[in-house]
Structure 1
């Protein structure tokens, strides 16, 4: 099936230049949504588009999940989540094929709203780059990015079979090089620390990856935070200053503000945090929002709209960038 471009160039320019106040309501782009969950199940495309329309979400950076949870023989029931029991997870490359097939079955107008990322590879495998090349060759023009690459990720890392993935792994350096050559942004999950260490013990892995690949566009998923870190530490100490320094030093780094950043950083007891408002205003093109939903889409509209309390504290043009156009601007034509 022919892959239709998202917009003609003139319409794209008009769309990116139009502030949300010119629309009937704020229009969003979801910068990170997983079509399947950790057992590779999904509500499906019909449910996704209903949820997108309900939430006024025009565009979605959509990806599979690069791992699948094993159902062990001894388990009394099938797991639904990677932390459902102690069984391991394993890398699952078919997730990209599932996503591609689902997109290519849709009408051209719906295809144009979906921007798929390649996620189904082992980030510790020196052959990982070959899987990405294969996907690009199998579906020319379809793929708009790479990721979410799962590296340091709390219990998910502990449950994943094989070598520990890290942002600066030599296998990923080859992936980043290909991403730069193909003009594909990379969504990278790399926790800033472990759930029990308050010092940012994994930050240097991210810094090395970003610093050694200046031609690669990196989107740092959740700014290195996670629900597990918050469960043990409440919040990462000094995260605002760390993000500020990284943005000043690396113009190829962008920040995904999906749900674990919303609380307790962007919002403090429901009120916009002044330091984070000032940071976003200082780097208005470098932040974006995402739902980070995994295969289930009933809460998509409410998840995206939960950012409104923070977006409303920003100037209209900056809010529109964070809510909608910053993600679109990173995608290849």
Structure 2
């Protein structure tokens, strides 16, 4: 039995340990902020390039994925080390098809809706993917789905001109595209977690996923070049292509992996949204977009509250599953996606 003095020492040591842990995590948090800032910067540069040149979204993404997949293969070397089983490779290849569809839908949503709405719609879609399983059959919580889906339609313009605001109204069809892309993004993360248990294995399988996504995009890009596009020529912009390759595809994967493994911060979390929101505000000001800071802050606060409510429902569901059947792992991946941060 421990004495009261020992208990006090343990409590004091626990506080010092918590402070030391936060201090050690500070560099990782800085890396996470910088990585997300560079990724969002690449999104804005991609949007400006697509909107000004009228280039094909599919061709642009395909052109960026080719060097990204080559670099992933060189860095991770999935053919070396412990041989990968078919139960790991086949789902990763299928995940490549889902990733290719995600890139196409998200790129088209970015071009039609703008970067701010596309990014928020991606968060809404990711949370919707979590809530779809948690709230299934619970009509009392359907309002959580409704206002999360409503977020991207909130006006963000400060322009007093009524005609200008009317021109910026985004229809339901346009907004559904990035929302579906967000659902696919959540789905591909679930598959990646399910087939990879170790960090190194996760990186090797991700190289296979990006390579297979490039292969899936090849016939679509060729079809778009021959039939779908009015011009075969793809204007070149060094910053738009390089930032998308290195920051939008490659760096963000490693940054999110570090945040998830070391900081326990996943994409569908309020902290992740807070970092992205700060980066969006900076980019909206730098790129001189027609931006309402107050409207965006209200929107981000409501979306953050929705994320918090979604994760709280997931924790309740996790507790109930643990009490009923500790070995039941049906909702394991959905719960893991929304760990409290």
TM interval, shorter chain, is under 0.3
Which structure would you say has the larger RCO, counting Cα contacts within 8 Å and 6 or more residues apart? 2
Q: Give the TM-score of the pair, scaled to structure 2.
A: 0.23
TM-score (norm 1): 0.23
